[in-house]
């Protein structure tokens, strides 16, 4: 389905930001699914909602100089995109990875607007990062980098303005260093970052939230197909924060997780991945996933990532990075009988892969819905910080579970209402968009 207004806005984005492939990809997917909404609500064009929503409210790019252990000066580039504050303070993670650039941060920030809206909590959308690679760096180098990064970022963020969290390459260690530096410079203690340690304002279940949430979302998709995780074979890409806890929850619900990966390759364990071993390798030793086979002799390591999708499974949970699952891999999954795919990562499936899943009627949960549990629990962390209270693990997990059920319902209902029943890509985009667009209209032309 095409629409002149949508086409015009898409063209202008491509012209204004040439060469930003990931950003174009994310905007195209959202805008195309909004066509029926735009046709039904002519006032949206009059209010210039699409032109405004694709343009970030503010983009900050800054130099991050730091000194490595050999005494050499290193320089990285820091970014923060404050995308849309219609629903609340900008909220979205910080990514440290050599591939970080404006296209990637803008695609993530744009997605975040709709994801945060879907959670039902009052959070705007933003994202940030740096082309810094924490891999192979000492703790002291990581600390010096984080301190330098925050020495610029602190002027742009605040508990009621912009509240970053972790993402690829940013876990508890990095958040701790950044929080310390923010507090030192501003001389204020408030919940300016989420994903904090439990001894200084963090929330129980935040570490587990994205992975658990993804599985809760997938469980709802499976329920619609009158089935569950019990006895299912699951393949999960990645072995970071999201992948580990998705594996843990899937196993708790009776599934067998056959494989996990990192950027070097994947391990296949026919007896089921031992999550404790992966946790120890990744969270404690910061080792490569290939080390897993030293501890589990029956497991097999394969170099390279894409072949992970050739392992026959019932459920696939891509939890590593963008565009990691292409059309060919999607076809292989479908051929091998996969019935459900829930994206723990952001935009891990290419547009071709998404089309393969939708056409084959595989239950498909797009990242902005399926991985929203992380930011939702960050929202719960903000609420606890404001109250100076700490809720129990069970309380947070219960709220997270309910939020994921609600997100699934909103996406499903919106898809039905706009004539594409079962298409949760359209449903999530539409449901997320409607709320933000409504507020943007009420707030006038800003
Ligand atoms: P981590 O840094 O903890 O883990 C990332 C995992 O993905 C690692 O196993 C990493 O391998 C692998 N990976 C990274 N880049 C590539 C690549 N180019 N090719 C193959 N594998 C790769 O990050 P998270 O688990 O936090 O994030 C994973 C995904 O989930 C990202 O898309 C992120 O945006 C998304 N997400 C995260 C949330 C959170 O709360 N953490 C919330 C919502 C979404 P290696 O170690 O070799 O680099």
Torsion sign over Cα 408, 321, 353, 260? negative
> Does any ligand 1 atom lie closer than 6 A to the CB of residue 344?
yes
Cα-flanking dihedrals φ and ψ of residue 260, to 5°?
-140, 170
Nearest C-alpha to atom 11 of ligand 1 is from which residue? Answer: 262
The reply to whether the predicted model has a pTM over 0.95 is: yes
Q: How many residues does the chain have?
A: 446
| Residues linked to residue 302 through DSSP beta bridges, in sequence order | 266
User: Quick one: tokens of 290?
Assistant: 């290939």
> Does any ligand 1 atom lie closer than 6 A to the CB of residue 242?
yes
| 121-146 mean pLDDT | 98
Per-residue model confidence as pLDDT tens digits over 248-266: 999 999 999 999 999 999 9
Q: Tell me, in angstroms, the distance from the centre of ligand 1 to residue 247's CA.
A: 14
Q: Tell me, in angstroms, the distance from the centre of ligand 1 to residue 387's CA.
A: 31
> Does any ligand 1 atom lie closer than 6 A to the CB of residue 92?
no
> Do 360 and 339 touch, CB atoms closer than 8 A?
no
> Do 91 and 167 touch, CB atoms closer than 8 A?
no
Torsion sign over Cα 166, 167, 172, 173? negative
| 375-380 mean pLDDT | 98
> Do 321 and 342 touch, CB atoms closer than 8 A?
no
Whether pLDDT at 440 is above 90: yes
**Mean pLDDT taken over the chain:** 98
Nearest-5° Cα angle at 191, 190 to 195: 145
Nearest-5° Cα angle at 337, 335 to 342: 105
DSSP 95: E
| 179-206 mean pLDDT | 97
- Determine the Cα–Cα distance for residues 208 and 356; give it in Å rounded to an integer: 30
Atom of ligand 1 nearest to the CA of 165: 40
Question: So what's the pLDDT on residue 2?
Answer: 83
Q: Tell me, in angstroms, the distance from the centre of ligand 1 to residue 100's CA.
A: 13
User: Quick one: tokens of 361?
Assistant: 């009627």
> Does any ligand 1 atom lie closer than 6 A to the CB of residue 423?
no
> Does any ligand 1 atom lie closer than 6 A to the CB of residue 166?
yes
Nearest C-alpha to atom 41 of ligand 1 is from which residue? Answer: 167
| 53-82 mean pLDDT | 98
CA-to-CA dists, residue 214 to 58, 366, 389, angstroms: 30, 10, 26
């Amino acid at each position: 389905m095409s629409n002149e207004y949508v086409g015009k806005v898409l063209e202008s984005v491509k012209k204004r930001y040439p060469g930003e492939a990931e950003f174009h990809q994310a905007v195209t997917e959202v805008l195309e699914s909004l066509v029926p909404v735009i046709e039904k609500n002519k006032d949206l064009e009059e209010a210039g909602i699409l032109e405004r929503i694709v343009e970030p409210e503010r983009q900050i790019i800054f130099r991050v100089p730091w000194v490595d252990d050999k005494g050499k000066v290193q320089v990285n580039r820091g970014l923060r995109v404050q995308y849309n504050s219609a629903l609340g303070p900008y909220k979205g993670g910080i990514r440290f990875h050599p591939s970080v650039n404006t296209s990637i941060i803008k695609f993530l920030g744009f997605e975040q607007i709709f994801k945060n809206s879907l959670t039902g909590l009052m959070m705007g959308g933003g994202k940030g990062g740096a082309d810094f690679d924490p891999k192979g760096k000492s703790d002291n180098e990581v600390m010096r980098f984080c301190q330098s990064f925050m020495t610029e970022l602190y002027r742009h963020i605040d508990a009621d303005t912009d509240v970053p969290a972790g993402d690829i390459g940013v876990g508890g260690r990095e958040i701790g260093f950044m929080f310390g530096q923010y507090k030192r410079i501003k001389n204020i203690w408030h919940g300016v970052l989420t994903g904090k340690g439990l001894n200084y304002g963090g929330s129980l279940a935040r570490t587990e939230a994205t992975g658990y949430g993804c599985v809760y979302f997938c469980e709802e998709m499976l329920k619609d197909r009158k089935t569950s995780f019990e006895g299912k074979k699951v393949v999960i890409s990645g072995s970071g924060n999201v992948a580990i806890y998705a594996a843990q929850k899937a196993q708790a619900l009776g599934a067998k997780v056959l494989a996990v990966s990192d950027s070097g390759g994947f391990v296949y364990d026919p007896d089921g991945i031992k999550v404790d071993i992966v946790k120890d390798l990744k969270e404690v030793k910061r080792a490569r996933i290939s080390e897993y086979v030293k501890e589990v002799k029956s497991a097999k390591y394969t170099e390279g990532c894409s072949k992970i999708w050739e392992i026959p499974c019932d459920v696939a949970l891509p939890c590593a990075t963008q565009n990691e699952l292409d059309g060919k891999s999607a076809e292989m999954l479908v051929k091998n009988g996969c019935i459900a795919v829930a994206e723990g990562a952001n935009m891990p499936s290419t547009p071709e892969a998404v089309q393969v899943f939708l056409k084959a009627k595989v239950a498909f949960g797009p990242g902005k819905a399926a991985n929203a549990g992380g930011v939702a629990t960050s929202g719960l962390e903000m609420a606890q910080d404001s109250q100076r209270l700490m809720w129990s693990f069970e309380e947070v997990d219960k709220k997270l579970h309910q939020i994921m059920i609600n997100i699934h319902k909103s996406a499903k209902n919106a898809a039905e209402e706009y004539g594409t029943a079962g298409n949760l890509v359209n449903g999530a985009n539409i449901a997320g968009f409607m709320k933000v667009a409504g507020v943007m209209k009420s707030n006038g032309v800003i």
